[in-house]
Chains A and B, each alone.
Chain A
Amino acid sequence: MGGPETDLVSVKIVVGGGFGVGKTTFVGSVSEIMPLTTEAVMTAASADVDDLSAVPDKTTTTVAMDFGRVSLDSELILYLFGTPGQHRFWFMWDDLVKGAIGAVVLVDTRRLADCFAAVDYFEELGLPFVVGVNGFHGEFQYGVEDIREALSISAHVPIVECDARSRESTKQVLITLVQHAMSVHMAAAGPGGS
Protein backbone atom coordinates (compact mmCIF):
# COMPACT_ATOMS: atom_id res chain seq x y z
CA MET A 1 0.00 0.00 0.00
CA GLY A 2 1.06 3.58 -0.41
CA GLY A 3 2.63 3.95 2.98
CA PRO A 4 4.29 7.34 2.87
CA GLU A 5 1.17 9.20 1.75
CA THR A 6 -0.17 9.13 5.28
CA ASP A 7 2.53 11.65 6.07
CA LEU A 8 1.10 14.21 3.69
CA VAL A 9 0.61 17.53 5.35
CA SER A 10 -0.77 20.86 4.22
CA VAL A 11 -0.42 24.36 5.58
CA LYS A 12 -1.94 27.64 4.55
CA ILE A 13 -1.15 31.31 4.40
CA VAL A 14 -3.84 33.92 4.00
CA VAL A 15 -3.44 36.93 1.71
CA GLY A 16 -5.50 39.94 2.66
CA GLY A 17 -5.86 43.52 1.51
CA GLY A 18 -8.26 45.73 -0.35
CA PHE A 19 -10.06 44.92 -3.57
CA GLY A 20 -7.76 45.08 -6.60
CA VAL A 21 -4.54 45.32 -4.62
CA GLY A 22 -3.05 42.31 -6.36
CA LYS A 23 -3.91 39.40 -4.07
CA THR A 24 -4.59 36.97 -6.88
CA THR A 25 -1.51 38.17 -8.78
CA PHE A 26 0.54 37.58 -5.65
CA VAL A 27 -0.88 34.09 -5.21
CA GLY A 28 -0.45 33.30 -8.90
CA SER A 29 3.19 34.42 -9.03
CA VAL A 30 4.30 31.52 -6.86
CA SER A 31 1.51 28.96 -7.32
CA GLU A 32 2.22 25.79 -9.31
CA ILE A 33 -1.34 25.84 -10.61
CA MET A 34 -3.39 28.64 -12.12
CA PRO A 35 -5.16 30.20 -9.15
CA LEU A 36 -8.47 28.44 -8.58
CA THR A 37 -11.67 29.91 -7.26
CA THR A 38 -13.80 28.30 -4.63
CA GLU A 39 -17.21 29.65 -3.88
CA ALA A 40 -19.11 29.50 -0.67
CA VAL A 41 -22.85 29.84 -1.04
CA MET A 42 -24.40 31.43 1.97
CA THR A 43 -28.07 30.77 2.29
CA ALA A 44 -30.69 30.97 4.96
CA ALA A 45 -29.99 27.31 5.67
CA SER A 46 -26.53 28.14 6.95
CA ALA A 47 -27.68 30.87 9.29
CA ASP A 48 -27.21 28.63 12.29
CA VAL A 49 -23.65 27.85 11.31
CA ASP A 50 -22.40 31.35 10.72
CA ASP A 51 -23.26 34.67 12.15
CA LEU A 52 -25.23 36.40 9.46
CA SER A 53 -26.60 39.12 11.68
CA ALA A 54 -24.91 41.72 9.50
CA VAL A 55 -26.78 40.46 6.47
CA PRO A 56 -30.27 41.91 6.49
CA ASP A 57 -32.42 39.34 4.72
CA LYS A 58 -32.34 35.65 4.17
CA THR A 59 -30.75 35.84 0.79
CA THR A 60 -28.26 33.72 -1.04
CA THR A 61 -24.85 35.26 -1.35
CA THR A 62 -21.85 33.80 -3.06
CA VAL A 63 -18.45 34.63 -1.72
CA ALA A 64 -15.52 33.79 -3.96
CA MET A 65 -11.97 33.12 -2.87
CA ASP A 66 -8.96 32.59 -5.07
CA PHE A 67 -6.23 30.27 -4.01
CA GLY A 68 -3.02 28.69 -5.20
CA ARG A 69 -0.88 25.73 -4.30
CA VAL A 70 2.86 25.31 -3.79
CA SER A 71 4.48 21.92 -3.15
CA LEU A 72 7.28 22.59 -0.69
CA ASP A 73 8.54 19.03 -0.56
CA SER A 74 7.15 15.68 -1.62
CA GLU A 75 4.83 15.54 1.39
CA LEU A 76 4.20 19.17 2.23
CA ILE A 77 1.81 21.44 0.35
CA LEU A 78 1.32 25.11 1.01
CA TYR A 79 -1.98 26.73 0.05
CA LEU A 80 -2.29 30.47 -0.39
CA PHE A 81 -5.78 31.85 0.05
CA GLY A 82 -6.86 35.31 -0.99
CA THR A 83 -9.47 36.72 1.36
CA PRO A 84 -12.78 37.83 -0.08
CA GLY A 85 -12.54 41.57 -0.60
CA GLN A 86 -15.82 42.56 0.97
CA HIS A 87 -15.51 43.37 4.64
CA ARG A 88 -18.90 42.11 5.60
CA PHE A 89 -17.91 38.52 4.96
CA TRP A 90 -16.04 38.15 8.21
CA PHE A 91 -17.43 34.69 8.78
CA MET A 92 -15.64 33.57 5.66
CA TRP A 93 -12.39 34.96 6.95
CA ASP A 94 -12.76 33.12 10.24
CA ASP A 95 -13.02 29.90 8.38
CA LEU A 96 -10.02 30.73 6.24
CA VAL A 97 -7.80 31.95 8.98
CA LYS A 98 -8.25 29.11 11.46
CA GLY A 99 -5.02 27.16 11.57
CA ALA A 100 -3.13 29.41 9.15
CA ILE A 101 0.60 30.02 9.55
CA GLY A 102 -0.16 33.69 9.22
CA ALA A 103 -1.24 36.36 6.80
CA VAL A 104 0.21 38.75 4.26
CA VAL A 105 -1.60 42.07 4.04
CA LEU A 106 -0.99 43.60 0.65
CA VAL A 107 -1.01 47.36 0.53
CA ASP A 108 -1.34 49.74 -2.38
CA THR A 109 0.05 53.06 -1.15
CA ARG A 110 -2.33 54.98 -3.41
CA ARG A 111 -5.22 53.43 -1.48
CA LEU A 112 -3.80 52.87 1.94
CA ALA A 113 -7.14 52.88 3.72
CA ASP A 114 -8.27 49.79 1.80
CA CYS A 115 -6.13 47.55 3.96
CA PHE A 116 -7.26 48.89 7.34
CA ALA A 117 -9.92 46.24 7.74
CA ALA A 118 -7.48 43.42 7.11
CA VAL A 119 -4.87 44.83 9.48
CA ASP A 120 -7.47 45.29 12.22
CA TYR A 121 -8.79 41.82 11.71
CA PHE A 122 -5.46 40.00 11.92
CA GLU A 123 -4.31 42.13 14.85
CA GLU A 124 -7.46 41.39 16.80
CA LEU A 125 -7.16 37.70 16.07
CA GLY A 126 -3.53 37.61 17.12
CA LEU A 127 -2.55 35.97 13.84
CA PRO A 128 1.06 36.68 12.81
CA PHE A 129 1.07 38.90 9.75
CA VAL A 130 3.41 40.92 7.60
CA VAL A 131 2.60 43.90 5.40
CA GLY A 132 3.64 43.70 1.76
CA VAL A 133 3.76 47.06 0.04
CA ASN A 134 2.95 46.23 -3.54
CA GLY A 135 4.92 48.69 -5.67
CA PHE A 136 3.50 48.91 -9.13
CA HIS A 137 6.32 49.24 -11.65
CA GLY A 138 8.83 49.35 -8.83
CA GLU A 139 7.52 52.64 -7.51
CA PHE A 140 7.49 53.09 -3.79
CA GLN A 141 6.20 56.57 -3.00
CA TYR A 142 6.48 56.20 0.74
CA GLY A 143 9.09 54.76 2.99
CA VAL A 144 8.37 51.72 5.10
CA GLU A 145 8.35 53.76 8.32
CA ASP A 146 5.85 56.25 6.86
CA ILE A 147 3.56 53.35 6.09
CA ARG A 148 4.06 51.88 9.54
CA GLU A 149 2.98 55.15 11.03
CA ALA A 150 0.05 55.64 8.70
CA LEU A 151 -1.27 52.17 9.48
CA SER A 152 -0.23 52.33 13.16
CA ILE A 153 1.44 48.98 12.92
CA SER A 154 3.53 47.91 15.86
CA ALA A 155 7.30 47.81 15.50
CA HIS A 156 7.64 44.04 15.56
CA VAL A 157 5.44 43.52 12.48
CA PRO A 158 7.61 43.30 9.35
CA ILE A 159 6.77 45.61 6.46
CA VAL A 160 8.36 44.69 3.17
CA GLU A 161 8.29 46.19 -0.30
CA CYS A 162 7.29 43.72 -2.96
CA ASP A 163 6.16 43.20 -6.52
CA ALA A 164 3.16 40.87 -6.55
CA ARG A 165 3.97 39.82 -10.11
CA SER A 166 7.40 38.53 -9.24
CA ARG A 167 7.83 34.97 -8.03
CA GLU A 168 11.09 35.82 -6.28
CA SER A 169 9.55 38.80 -4.53
CA THR A 170 6.50 36.84 -3.40
CA LYS A 171 8.77 34.08 -2.15
CA GLN A 172 10.70 36.60 -0.04
CA VAL A 173 7.48 37.97 1.47
CA LEU A 174 6.39 34.45 2.39
CA ILE A 175 9.79 33.69 3.92
CA THR A 176 9.55 36.88 5.98
CA LEU A 177 6.10 35.83 7.18
CA VAL A 178 7.17 32.32 8.19
CA GLN A 179 10.20 33.68 10.04
CA HIS A 180 7.93 36.17 11.79
CA ALA A 181 5.47 33.43 12.72
CA MET A 182 8.35 31.40 14.14
CA SER A 183 9.56 34.27 16.29
CA VAL A 184 5.99 34.85 17.52
CA HIS A 185 5.80 31.15 18.41
CA MET A 186 9.08 31.22 20.26
CA ALA A 187 8.16 34.37 22.15
CA ALA A 188 4.87 32.76 23.17
CA ALA A 189 6.62 29.60 24.30
CA GLY A 190 8.77 31.70 26.63
CA PRO A 191 12.45 31.32 27.49
CA GLY A 192 12.14 27.72 28.67
CA GLY A 193 9.92 26.55 25.81
CA SER A 194 10.97 24.99 22.59
Chain B
Amino acid sequence: MDRGGHYGAGSGGVPRWDDASRQQPQEQDASSLVRPYAVTGGRVKPRYDLAIEALVTAAPYPPRDVSMLTPEYRAIMDLCRSARSVAEVSALLRLPLGVARVLVADMALEGLLRLHQSRPAGTQPDLRLLERVLSGLRKL
Protein backbone atom coordinates (compact mmCIF):
# COMPACT_ATOMS: atom_id res chain seq x y z
CA MET B 1 0.00 0.00 0.00
CA ASP B 2 1.24 3.44 -0.76
CA ARG B 3 1.60 5.00 2.64
CA GLY B 4 2.64 8.31 1.24
CA GLY B 5 -0.59 9.08 -0.54
CA HIS B 6 -2.83 11.54 1.28
CA TYR B 7 -5.98 10.47 -0.41
CA GLY B 8 -5.00 6.89 -1.21
CA ALA B 9 -7.22 5.02 1.20
CA GLY B 10 -10.62 5.44 -0.36
CA SER B 11 -11.68 2.89 -2.94
CA GLY B 12 -14.07 4.88 -4.99
CA GLY B 13 -13.80 7.75 -2.53
CA VAL B 14 -17.41 7.63 -1.42
CA PRO B 15 -17.94 10.19 1.33
CA ARG B 16 -19.66 7.85 3.73
CA TRP B 17 -18.56 9.88 6.74
CA ASP B 18 -21.39 12.33 6.40
CA ASP B 19 -24.17 9.75 6.23
CA ALA B 20 -22.71 7.69 9.03
CA SER B 21 -22.51 10.66 11.32
CA ARG B 22 -26.10 11.64 10.67
CA GLN B 23 -27.48 8.21 11.40
CA GLN B 24 -25.44 7.27 14.40
CA PRO B 25 -24.31 10.18 16.46
CA GLN B 26 -21.26 9.22 18.47
CA GLU B 27 -18.35 10.80 20.21
CA GLN B 28 -15.73 11.84 17.73
CA ASP B 29 -12.10 12.50 18.31
CA ALA B 30 -11.38 16.19 17.84
CA SER B 31 -8.85 15.46 15.11
CA SER B 32 -11.54 13.97 12.91
CA LEU B 33 -13.25 17.33 12.80
CA VAL B 34 -10.66 18.78 10.47
CA ARG B 35 -12.24 18.60 7.12
CA PRO B 36 -11.76 22.03 5.75
CA TYR B 37 -14.65 23.45 3.76
CA ALA B 38 -16.37 20.11 3.32
CA VAL B 39 -18.32 20.77 6.48
CA THR B 40 -19.27 24.21 5.24
CA GLY B 41 -20.70 22.92 1.99
CA GLY B 42 -17.79 24.42 0.14
CA ARG B 43 -18.53 27.96 1.24
CA VAL B 44 -15.59 30.06 2.28
CA LYS B 45 -17.50 33.16 3.25
CA PRO B 46 -19.60 33.34 6.38
CA ARG B 47 -23.16 34.57 6.03
CA TYR B 48 -22.27 37.60 8.01
CA ASP B 49 -19.16 39.33 9.11
CA LEU B 50 -17.84 37.85 12.33
CA ALA B 51 -14.91 39.30 14.21
CA ILE B 52 -12.40 36.66 15.30
CA GLU B 53 -12.93 37.80 18.89
CA ALA B 54 -16.75 37.72 18.60
CA LEU B 55 -18.23 35.75 21.50
CA VAL B 56 -20.82 33.03 21.16
CA THR B 57 -22.73 30.92 23.67
CA ALA B 58 -24.92 27.89 23.08
CA ALA B 59 -28.59 28.82 22.94
CA PRO B 60 -30.24 27.74 26.21
CA TYR B 61 -33.20 26.34 24.28
CA PRO B 62 -31.92 25.19 20.89
CA PRO B 63 -34.63 25.08 18.22
CA ARG B 64 -33.46 21.65 17.08
CA ASP B 65 -32.64 18.38 18.77
CA VAL B 66 -28.95 18.73 19.52
CA SER B 67 -28.34 14.99 19.30
CA MET B 68 -29.34 15.11 15.63
CA LEU B 69 -26.76 17.72 14.72
CA THR B 70 -23.57 16.99 12.83
CA PRO B 71 -20.48 16.24 14.94
CA GLU B 72 -19.09 19.70 14.23
CA TYR B 73 -22.27 21.42 15.33
CA ARG B 74 -22.49 19.31 18.47
CA ALA B 75 -18.85 19.91 19.33
CA ILE B 76 -19.39 23.65 18.97
CA MET B 77 -22.55 23.52 21.09
CA ASP B 78 -20.67 21.66 23.83
CA LEU B 79 -17.75 24.05 23.74
CA CYS B 80 -19.95 27.11 23.85
CA ARG B 81 -21.71 26.23 27.10
CA SER B 82 -19.46 28.97 28.35
CA ALA B 83 -18.72 31.96 26.17
CA ARG B 84 -16.09 31.38 23.50
CA SER B 85 -14.72 33.49 20.73
CA VAL B 86 -14.67 32.38 17.11
CA ALA B 87 -10.89 32.07 17.50
CA GLU B 88 -11.30 29.70 20.43
CA VAL B 89 -13.81 27.57 18.54
CA SER B 90 -11.22 27.31 15.78
CA ALA B 91 -8.28 26.54 18.06
CA LEU B 92 -9.99 24.15 20.48
CA LEU B 93 -11.77 22.12 17.80
CA ARG B 94 -8.82 22.32 15.43
CA LEU B 95 -10.90 23.84 12.69
CA PRO B 96 -9.30 26.33 10.36
CA LEU B 97 -10.40 29.83 11.27
CA GLY B 98 -12.40 30.32 8.07
CA VAL B 99 -14.32 27.11 8.66
CA ALA B 100 -15.07 28.00 12.27
CA ARG B 101 -16.37 31.35 11.10
CA VAL B 102 -18.73 29.90 8.55
CA LEU B 103 -20.07 27.30 10.99
CA VAL B 104 -20.54 29.74 13.84
CA ALA B 105 -22.35 32.21 11.57
CA ASP B 106 -24.62 29.45 10.26
CA MET B 107 -25.37 28.19 13.75
CA ALA B 108 -26.16 31.70 14.96
CA LEU B 109 -28.58 32.14 12.08
CA GLU B 110 -30.22 28.83 12.93
CA GLY B 111 -30.68 29.93 16.50
CA LEU B 112 -28.32 27.32 17.91
CA LEU B 113 -25.81 29.87 19.12
CA ARG B 114 -26.23 33.31 20.59
CA LEU B 115 -23.89 35.83 19.16
CA HIS B 116 -22.58 38.54 21.45
CA GLN B 117 -21.22 41.01 19.00
CA SER B 118 -22.28 44.31 20.43
CA ARG B 119 -20.73 46.37 17.67
CA PRO B 120 -20.32 45.62 13.97
CA ALA B 121 -17.16 43.64 13.13
CA GLY B 122 -14.28 45.99 12.52
CA THR B 123 -15.60 48.85 14.64
CA GLN B 124 -13.19 50.11 17.23
CA PRO B 125 -14.29 50.22 20.86
CA ASP B 126 -15.59 53.56 22.07
CA LEU B 127 -14.19 55.57 24.93
CA ARG B 128 -16.51 54.09 27.53
CA LEU B 129 -15.47 50.58 26.65
CA LEU B 130 -11.80 51.59 26.68
CA GLU B 131 -12.27 52.97 30.19
CA ARG B 132 -13.74 49.65 31.26
CA VAL B 133 -10.77 47.81 29.73
CA LEU B 134 -8.37 50.11 31.52
CA SER B 135 -9.97 49.63 34.89
CA GLY B 136 -10.10 45.87 34.32
CA LEU B 137 -6.42 45.75 33.47
CA ARG B 138 -5.52 47.76 36.57
CA LYS B 139 -7.35 45.28 38.76
CA LEU B 140 -5.55 42.27 37.32
User: A98 on the interface (CB 8 Å rule)?
Assistant: yes
CA distance A45 to B118 in the complex (A): 30
A5 pairs with B133, CB closer than 8 A: no
Q: Please tell me if A144 contacts chain B, counting CB pairs below 8 Å.
A: no
A73 to B83 alpha-carbon distance, docked (Å)? 13
Asked if A166 lies at the interface with its beta carbon under 8 angstroms from chain B, I say no
- Provided the pairs A38-B97, A39-B96, A98-B51 are in contact, do residues A171 and B140 lie with their beta carbons within 8 angstroms? yes
Assign chain B's interface to a size class.
35 or more
Whether A101 and B97, one on each chain, are in contact in the complex, defined by CB atoms closer than 8 angstroms, is no
Q: Residues of B contacting A2 with CB < 8 Å?
A: 57, 60
Task: Give the residues in chain A near B98, CB-CB below 8 Å.
Answer: 40-41, 46
Chain A residues with CB below 8 A from B138, complex form: 175
Question: Which residue from B42, B116, B124, B127 sits with its C-beta under 8 Å from A186?
Answer: B127
Residues of A with C-beta under 8 A to B118:
7, 9
Instruction: List residues of chain B with CB under 8 Å of any chain A CB.
Output: 36-37, 42, 44-45, 51-55, 57, 60, 83, 85, 87-88, 90-92, 96-100, 114, 116, 118-119, 121-127, 129-134, 136-140
A contacts, CB < 8 Å to B: 1-2, 5-12, 30, 36-41, 43, 45-46, 49, 62, 65, 67, 69-70, 72-73, 76-79, 81, 95-96, 98-101, 167, 171, 174-175, 178-179, 181-182, 185-186, 189, 194
Contact at B44–A178, with CB atoms within 8 Å? no
Question: Given A95-B52, A182-B127, is A8 in contact with B137 using a C-beta cutoff of 8 Å?
Answer: no
- Interface of chain B, helix or strand or loop or mixed? mixed
Residues of B contacting A70 with CB < 8 Å? 140
CA distance A49 to B125 in the complex (A): 25
B36 touches A5 (CB 8 A): no
| Cross-chain contact of A101 among B45, B83, B91, B124 (Cβ < 8 A) | B124
B133 in contact with A101 (CB, 8 Å): yes
Q: With contacts A12-B51, A182-B127 known, what are 10 further pairs, Cβ within 8 A? A: A7-B116, A8-B55, A8-B57, A11-B133, A39-B90, A76-B133, A77-B55, A78-B136, A99-B121, A181-B130
